[in-house]
Structure 1
Amino acid sequence: MKRVLILLLVVTLTVLPTIGCGATDQQQEDEAPTGNSEELTKVQVLLDWYPNTNHTGIYVAKDKGFYEEEGLEVEIIQPTGGGSAEPIAAGKGDFGISYQEQVTYARTAENPLPIKAIAAIIQHNTSGFASPVEKGIETGKDFEGKKYGGWGSPMEEAMIKAVMEKEDGDFSKVETVNIGELDFFTSVKDHVDFTWIYYGWDGVASELKDYPINFIKLQEVEPDLDFYTPVIIAKEDYIQENPELTKKFLNATRKGYEYAIESPEDAVQSLLKASPEIDKELAVASQKYLAKEYKADVDRWGEMSLDRWENYSNWMLERGLIENELDAKEAFTNEYLPE
């Protein structure tokens, strides 16, 4: 899950012509709808990466028949690379899983992509910097003299600087090491002192492994870094031309996530049925953690706030991560969410 964020932060804004050949979840394909498929409207959902607990509500909605109840036949597809923003903008899928930062990059680029966020899957950013307890890294000041494992993206550098600034830390004293495909546990054991993780996956895994870590949650240090990650996106003209279909899709998806909130252990079985290669113990633990995060402090699943979009895009602009100011009001909408 951590790799997803980094890869999407370096958006190439190049349409991927092969996305239609992306890997489809075979188990889901094998389970044909119980109704007459000719009466169902086919919808493609492009994931951001491999299936994981961020996506559970979508798999629940498909497995439990919530999409069928709305007259939809949903196909879940893994992209071949680069995330979902470019193919969605090119009309290569109907809905996609993305991130607030990717939408911001896409809409402020020299050649903007006409995509819009239509629902927040999780209400708050659950990522941060993690390290083994024995490394003694408790604040941004403690990054000095340490090795950070990442990919050298401008976003990583900006976030490390932001955390260190709160403690008068000197970023020049941090060494960045490219860790490639290494997971958190391997990287901090043999190569680096700290790295960037999502607590809902690697943090939960550390608890299961009884592996004590120090975790610096980004939003708790810098409130502007409380961005929506992940979000559901669509092409602007698609939702304008298909408002009722969009509402039906989000209503069924909302039921899936509400089910995951109420019954996380059962809900995760829909994800595991589709992707049995996922570690079951970790998936269940992660699902229980995310059950409290999907809605968190809002009454309606998927709700997004203008302040959150403005604060994060302004933060990016101030640090030179984007060249143009984001029109935040146009970057997202709550219009299609069920009441």
Structure 2
Amino acid sequence: MILRRLRRPAAAALIACAAVALAGCGGSGEGTGGGAGEQVTIALDYAPNANYLGIYVALDKGYFADEGVEPKILPYANTPAETLIKSGKADLAISYPPDVVINRSQGLKYRAVAALVAGNTTELVVLAGSKYRRPAQLSGRLYGGFGIQSDKALITEIMKRDGATDPKFRQVVINTAALEALKSGRVDYTAIFAGIDDVQAAKMGIRLRGFPYRKYLGEAGNYPNAVYVAADETISSRKEAMKGTLAALARGYEYAAANPDEAARILIDANQATLGRDRAVTIATSRVASKQFLDPQTGTWGPLADTDFSGLGTILKQGGVIKGTPPAPSELYTDSLLPGQ
């Protein structure tokens, strides 16, 4: 499975199992905290995976209860974070920085409140044995995509910066089995999260050559892979509950960063239906993912910066994805709910 949000491949059986696991798990990773705290609804953006180590650790260790919060976890159901936030069905959801820029520019009053990971591990990938050795050579080739609005602008910019003149972007939205499509030759390239999807590819016997976004886009390409988002109204009206939720998550992710194998066990035990059959892959991906949880400068989880968004706005505007002036970084994120703020 390729872990690219919404647009990530969503096998119906896998999602159904994930929903059952979340609804029915007990004290170590349950769908709700089971206490008398203030309920906060957290929407997931895919089936259980290493990105959720902090959530499951926080559930298992009682961190939410410590903060007076009762989390209600919404399993992934092919609904974008933005739809859930706009409808009020989620207080906190997981999104993608380019989506935050795009949707804020279109009038959705929400923003990022924490970086799930500290940097961008997204890579364009081709088969290791292919003739493609640099992104510029992918101009006009077929991309196996996920329906992500920003892909054309970002990938075209990568091609340009690698020397392609007038790069051409061709895409087929496959949503499922992207690695298989790449292996079979149905597509020439796709995108992955390094450290998770490449581990899965290796298990499948697929060797990849990668072109990291951050290498070609520089600072503009090193935004976090994923961010927690909330509506502006929720941030202002439920500030203490949101602060408590993020404090619990921070403790969970910081614990996972220090104890990735134990965190992986907690994740697996809470999701036996989806993860129990291949513990080794979950442990391996957790070890890699956990290295991305903490900000390298502060050693803490969650902080965001203007640079996580400012370069994106320029690229998305140039690519025609957004109209008018891109939203200022101050409209796109806040660190005010994080511990110590």
Alpha-carbon deviation of 1:199? 1.1
Specify the alignment match of 1:327 in structure 2: 328
- Cα distance 1:199–1:37, how it changes in 2: closer, same or farther (>3 A)? closer
Counterpart of 1:185 (choices 180, 192, 198) is 180
Alpha-carbon deviation of 1:321? 1.0
Alpha-carbon deviation of 1:139? 0.8
Specify the alignment match of 2:253 in structure 1: 257
Specify the alignment match of 1:195 in structure 2: 190
Provide the rounded CA distance (Å) in 2 between the counterparts of 1:37 and 1:129.
42
Q: Is the 8 A contact 1:49 1:83 kept in 2?
A: no
Task: Give the 3-state SS of the residue equivalent to 2:191 in structure 1.
Answer: strand
Alpha-carbon deviation of 1:268? 1.4
Q: Give 1:306's aligned amino acid.
A: D
Q: Which moved more, 1:288-297 or 1:181-190?
A: 181-190
2:182 is the counterpart of 1:160:
no
2:87 is the counterpart of 1:90:
yes
Provide the rounded CA distance (Å) in 2 between the counterparts of 1:201 and 1:149.
18
2:115 is the counterpart of 1:116:
no
Alpha-carbon deviation of 1:179? 2.9
Specify the alignment match of 1:15 in structure 2: none
Task: Give the 3-state SS of the residue equivalent to 2:150 in structure 1.
Answer: helix
Task: Give the 3-state SS of the residue equivalent to 2:304 in structure 1.
Answer: coil
Q: Is the 8 A contact 2:140 2:167 kept in 1?
A: no
Specify the alignment match of 2:7 in structure 1: 7
Q: Give 1:250's aligned amino acid.
A: L
- Cα distance 1:59–1:152, how it changes in 2: closer, same or farther (>3 A)? closer
- Cα distance 1:315–1:246, how it changes in 2: closer, same or farther (>3 A)? same
| TM-score with structure 2 setting the length | 0.85
User: Any unmatched runs of 5+ in structure 1?
Assistant: 9-21
Alpha-carbon deviation of 1:289? 0.6
RMSD, matched Cα: 2.6
Match runs of 1:227-306 below 5 Å? 227-276=223-272, 277-278=274-275, 279-299=278-298, 300-306=300-306
- Cα distance 1:2–1:170, how it changes in 2: closer, same or farther (>3 A)? farther
Provide the rounded CA distance (Å) in 1 between the counterparts of 2:124 and 2:6.
14
Alpha-carbon deviation of 1:233? 1.1
Q: Give 1:273's aligned amino acid.
A: D
Percent identical among aligned pairs is: 25
Provide the rounded CA distance (Å) in 1 between the counterparts of 2:151 and 2:293.
25
Q: Give 1:334's aligned amino acid.
A: D
User: Any unmatched runs of 5+ in structure 2?
Assistant: 9-17
Alpha-carbon deviation of 1:282? 1.6
Q: Give 1:290's aligned amino acid.
A: A
| TM-score with structure 1 setting the length | 0.86
2:119 is the counterpart of 1:133:
no
2:39 is the counterpart of 1:42:
yes
Task: Give the 3-state SS of the residue equivalent to 1:336 in structure 2.
Answer: coil
Alpha-carbon deviation of 1:154? 5.1
Alpha-carbon deviation of 1:210? 5.4
Provide the rounded CA distance (Å) in 1 between the counterparts of 2:73 and 2:29.
13
